[in-house]
């Protein structure tokens, strides 16, 4: 059915409608001052049929009489005031609170304010929905929730016309039931809310018609009517329809003879279900031929009871909480205390997330991990009605970083005397609740008991031998955590003795960078430093005697000490817990063939084991890279051991060591000094000529004698022995060669 303006060829533009004369009522309206019904003729062509309007040309508003009617309008196609919202063009359309139709169209709506502007329209003949920007599509409106099953008793009044006789009628009995396969009632059939009306029986007083006595006349519904409700305004009203053609049976006595006839409804009629009050209102219309006359009837009814009302779930305001412990979760109590139930039969409250129950009751303690949580509260009453409310909880990560099993102490080795750059192991730290690593920084706050402020950069810091305290700090976006750690720097000394240490007159121990070399004795025999020595840091667990005019960078003593005249010491520290290097361990030394290299001769040997090896004056013995062992070695003055230039030769002597020659390698310009790793397992070994490298005598005494040239060092490197005896006048220079070997 299409509506258009009369006299405009069905396409005319129309003026906007006037406001409703009764703002508190709901009306349908024809948006024209003259209107025509458009239909198709037998040839399928459109035809316009003019109809009458108000005498003054205004829009015809026709409220229908009747106490329970909520809306009405004028149907231009019938010449009588009828409820056009009951026609097919508006079926399943709720008339409450919707935008106005556009000019030239018929639609259903309410008018809460006379000045309300007009929006888009419901298009006639289609019952489609088109709204302005301020309105939501019907499909997006949530439906209320209610008990899935209930029955209502119905009452009603109406009129019955038999021929020309008009009689008032009453609904003697009847009931309606609501079935809700879909509890939210927002879907279209067959999943919506089913309204069933049955057992309707209409009775009225006996009367005479055409001189015939009609008694005991009853009209009742032949079979139950099922109709599906559709949510319209999303909060309260549902509209359902009783379809056209519904059959009704009438029985009665005509002059004492019982007759049964069948009548039917000649149009679809609608009813409403009010989800707040539980009231069902409806209208029945039927017609037919009976008793030799036409029979028409109408009945307007409503339920007389209020059904169970669902509780109103209230989950509270959305929350943002912090996870502050190692569980990476927030502990909180979900609060449904604002939930209400008008009927007072609230049965249970359930909390769920992603379909899984996480708690129950008005107060539900939960543990929520970091992230966003969409939580649903469902409130059920004793009749099975329920409602729900959504709660958004965001758990933020505010956890501080954690160190992973940090060591209380660290031992660090340095090959250089004095303060040197050492590499500190940076403690590992993690963020408990994320895979991102925190930033770890270090700062030295004390060195050997004295306050300090030294940054650790990339694990590197310059520290002297002794004990330092480092503060390590792990930082993430939430803050910082700090731990302290003792770092014991074991500086590789130039001289290290496990039993006794004796330094002769005028001995000097130097190192690069203007510092002097370190001496250390950890045995039980006294340490003796004779006259005029020039030494760096001296560490001695046994007692120490320092004779006249000695100069020491510092003295760390674990026992008594005696100072001679004019002694100069930078610092004297009572210290029995200073870090110590490990005495290198020598490999097993086997037996093998002897080697004798005559003067001015040259001889080469492969790595392996040898017996007595003698290299006489000006003779040369070439050693291969790798480990070579000898029972005895006698290197005569001016004799040479020739080794690889890269320092890859290691020589170990078991019983006797006399070292009076030199160690060289062959370079592009001839022979040049080369380092040697020399180990001696015997009771006493002698280094009586220039030496470069590391000399180790863990089981005996190592004697370092005067240099062949007073202007050059007697030896360069580091020296480890059970007992060390440095003869008068020797000049030693610390060297970090073979630092990883001892």
**pLDDT reported for residue 520:** 94
- The strand order across the sheet containing 346-353 reads 319-323, 386-397, 371-381, 346-353, 356-360
Maximal CA-CA distance, the chain:
167
Cβ-proximal residues to 378 (8 Å cutoff; 6+ apart), any chain: 313, 349, 350, 352, 386, 387, 388
Half-sphere exposure of 252 (CA within 13 A, CB side): 29
Please determine, for residue 339, whether its predicted confidence score (pLDDT) is greater than 90. Answer: yes
Q: Which DSSP string corresponds to 339-403?
A: -B-TTS-EEEEEEEETTEEEEESSEEEEEEESEEEEEEEEEEETTS-EEEEEEEEEEEE-PPPEE
Interior/surface letters 227-251, b for 16+ CB within 10 angstroms, e for the rest = bbbbbbbbebbbbbbbeeebebebe
* Cα gap 203→174, rounded to integer Å: 12
* Least confident window among 1-5, 35-39, 371-375, 732-736: 1-5
Cα 108 from chain centroid (whole Å): 50
Residue 427 φ then ψ, to 5°: -60, 145
**pLDDT reported for residue 249:** 80
Q: 494-542: per-residue pLDDT in tens?
A: 999 999 999 999 999 998 878 888 999 999 999 999 999 999 999 999 9
Query: In the structure, what pLDDT confidence band is assigned to residue 151 with cuts at 50, 70 and 90?
Result: low
Do the Cβ atoms of 659 and 640 come closer than 8 Å? no
* Cα gap 570→565, rounded to integer Å: 15
Cα distances from 525 to residues 371, 430, 543, 616, in angstroms, run: 68, 50, 8, 37
Q: 408-441: per-residue pLDDT in tens?
A: 888 888 887 777 788 899 999 999 888 889 999 9
Please determine, for residue 546, whether its predicted confidence score (pLDDT) is greater than 80. Answer: yes
Q: 567-616: per-residue pLDDT in tens?
A: 999 989 898 888 788 898 999 998 999 999 999 999 999 999 999 999 99
Most confident of 200-204, 259-263, 398-402: 398-402
Residue 626 is encoded by which pair of tokens? Answer: 């790798």
Q: What's the rounded mean pLDDT across residues 233-255?
A: 72
Most confident of 24-38, 45-59, 203-217, 307-321: 307-321
Residue 473 is encoded by which pair of tokens? Answer: 């700090």
Residue 660 φ then ψ, to 5°: -120, -5
Please determine, for residue 308, whether its predicted confidence score (pLDDT) is greater than 90. Answer: no
**pLDDT reported for residue 710:** 53
* Cα gap 312→229, rounded to integer Å: 22
CA neighbor of 509 nearest in space, from 722, 703, 700, 718: 718
Q: What's the rounded mean pLDDT across residues 61-82?
A: 32
Please determine, for residue 105, whether its predicted confidence score (pLDDT) is greater than 80. Answer: no
Beta strands (DSSP E) in 478-625 are 479-491, 495-503, 508-510, 519-521, 527-529, 534-540, 544-546, 551-557, 561-563, 568-569, 572-574, 595-597, 602-605, 608-615, 620-623
Q: 430-487: per-residue pLDDT in tens?
A: 998 888 899 999 999 999 888 999 999 999 998 887 789 999 999 998 899 999 999 9
**pLDDT reported for residue 204:** 67
- Quick one: what percent of the chain has pLDDT higher than 90? 37
Q: What's the rounded mean pLDDT across residues 660-682?
A: 88
For residues 155 and 111, which has the higher predicted lDDT (pLDDT)?
A: 155
Please determine, for residue 124, whether its predicted confidence score (pLDDT) is greater than 70. Answer: no
**pLDDT reported for residue 79:** 35
Do the Cβ atoms of 542 and 527 come closer than 8 Å? yes
* Cα gap 471→483, rounded to integer Å: 6
Query: In the structure, what pLDDT confidence band is assigned to residue 154 with cuts at 50, 70 and 90?
Result: confident
Q: What's the rounded mean pLDDT across residues 140-168?
A: 64
Residue 98 is encoded by which pair of tokens? Answer: 């919707």
Residue in this structure with the two tokens 């259903």, named with its chain if needed: 108
SS3 labels along 91-111? CCCCCCCCCCCCCCCEEEEEC
Please determine, for residue 327, whether its predicted confidence score (pLDDT) is greater than 80. Answer: yes
For residue 668, give the DSSP letter: T
**pLDDT reported for residue 74:** 33
Please determine, for residue 60, whether its predicted confidence score (pLDDT) is greater than 60. Answer: no
Residue in this structure with the two tokens 């005509």, named with its chain if needed: 254
Report the chain's mean pLDDT, rounded to a whole number: 74
Most confident of 78-87, 421-430, 704-713: 421-430
Angle at 557 between CA 553 and CA 560, to 5 degrees: 125
């Amino acid at each position: 059915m299409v509506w258009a303006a009369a006299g405009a060829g069905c396409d005319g533009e129309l003026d906007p409608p006037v406001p409703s004369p009764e703002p508190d009522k709901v009306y349908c309206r024809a948006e024209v001052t003259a209107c025509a019904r458009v239909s198709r003729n037998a040839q399928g062509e459109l035809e316009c049929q003019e109809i009458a309007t108000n005498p003054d040309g205004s829009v015809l508003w026709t409220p229908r009489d009747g106490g329970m009617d909520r809306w009405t309008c004028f149907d231009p196609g019938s010449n009588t005031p009828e409820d056009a919202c009951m026609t097919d063009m508006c079926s399943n359309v709720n008339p409450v609170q919707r935008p106005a139709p556009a000019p030239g169209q018929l639609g259903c709506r309410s008018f809460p304010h006379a000045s309300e502007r007009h929006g888009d329209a419901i298009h006639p003949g289609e019952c489609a929905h088109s709204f302005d920007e301020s309105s939501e599509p019907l499909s997006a409106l949530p439906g209320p929730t209610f008990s899935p099953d209930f029955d209502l008793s119905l009452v009603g009044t109406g009129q019955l016309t038999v021929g020309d006789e008009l009689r008032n009628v009453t609904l003697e009995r009847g009931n309606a039931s609501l079935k809700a396969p879909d509890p939210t009632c927002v879907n279209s059939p067959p999943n919506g809310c089913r309204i069933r009306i049955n057992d309707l029986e209409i009775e009225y007083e006996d009367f005479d018609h055409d001189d015939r006595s009609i008694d005991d006349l009853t009209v009742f519904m032949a079979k139950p009517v099922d109709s599906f409700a559709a949510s319209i305004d999303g909060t309260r009203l549902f509209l359902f329809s009783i379809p056209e053609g519904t059959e009704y049976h009438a029985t009665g006595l005509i002059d004492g003879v019982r007759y049964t006839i069948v009548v039917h409804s000649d149009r679809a009629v609608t009813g409403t279900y009010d989800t707040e009050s539980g009231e069902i209102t409806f209208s029945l219309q039927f017609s037919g031929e009976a008793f030799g006359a036409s029979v028409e009837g109408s009945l307007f009814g409503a339920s007389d009871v209020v059904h169970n009302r669902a509780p109103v779930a209230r989950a509270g305001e959305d929350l943002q909480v912090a996870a502050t412990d190692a569980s990476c979760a927030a502990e909180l109590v979900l609060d449904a205390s604002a939930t209400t139930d008008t009927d007072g039969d609230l049965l249970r409250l359930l909390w769920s997330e992603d379909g899984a129950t996480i708690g129950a009751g008005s107060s539900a303690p939960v543990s929520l991990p970091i992230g966003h949580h969409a939580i649903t509260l469902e409130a059920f009453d004793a009749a099975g009605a329920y409602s729900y409310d959504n709660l958004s909880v965001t758990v933020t990560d505010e956890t501080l970083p954690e160190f992973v099993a940090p060591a209380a102490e660290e031992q660090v080795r340095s090959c250089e005397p004095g303060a040197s750059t050492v590499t500190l192991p940076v403690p590992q730290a993690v963020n408990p609740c994320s895979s991102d690593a925190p930033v770890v920084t270090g700062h030295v706050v004390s060195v050997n008991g004295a306050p300090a402020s030294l940054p650790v950069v990339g694990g590197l810091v310059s520290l002297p031998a002794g004990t330092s305290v480092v503060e390590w700090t792990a930082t993430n976006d939430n803050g910082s955590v700090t731990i302290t750690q003792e770092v014991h720097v074991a500086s590789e000394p130039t001289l290290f003795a496990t039993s006794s240490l004796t330094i002769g007159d005028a001995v000097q121990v130097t190192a690069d960078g203007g510092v002097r070399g370190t001496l250390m004795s950890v045995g039980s025999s006294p340490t003796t430093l004779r006259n005029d020595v020039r030494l760096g840091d001296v560490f001695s667990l046994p007692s120490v005697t320092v004779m006249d005019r000695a100069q020491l960078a510092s003295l760390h003593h674990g026992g008594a000490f005696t100072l001679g005249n004019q002694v100069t010491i930078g610092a004297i520290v009572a210290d029995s817990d200073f870090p110590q290097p490990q005495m290198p361990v020598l490999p097993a030394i086997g037996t093998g063939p002897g080697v004798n290299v005559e003067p001015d001769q040259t001889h080469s040997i492969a790595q392996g084991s040898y017996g007595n090896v003698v290299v006489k004056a000006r003779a040369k013995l070439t050693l291969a890279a790798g480990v070579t062992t000898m029972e005895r070695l006698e290197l005569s003055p001016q004799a040479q051991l020739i080794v690889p230039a890269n320092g890859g030769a290691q020589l170990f002597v078991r019983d006797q060591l006399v070292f009076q020659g030199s160690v060289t390698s062959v370079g592009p310009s001839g022979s040049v000094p080369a380092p040697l790793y020399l180990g001696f397992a015997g009771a006493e070994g002698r280094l009586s000529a220039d030496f470069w490298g590391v000399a180790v005598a863990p089981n005996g005494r190592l004697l370092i004698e005067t240099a062949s040239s007073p202007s050059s060092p007697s030896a360069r490197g580091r020296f480890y022995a059970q007992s060390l005896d440095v003869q008068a006048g020797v000049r030693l220079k610390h060297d970090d060669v073979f630092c990883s070997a001892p």
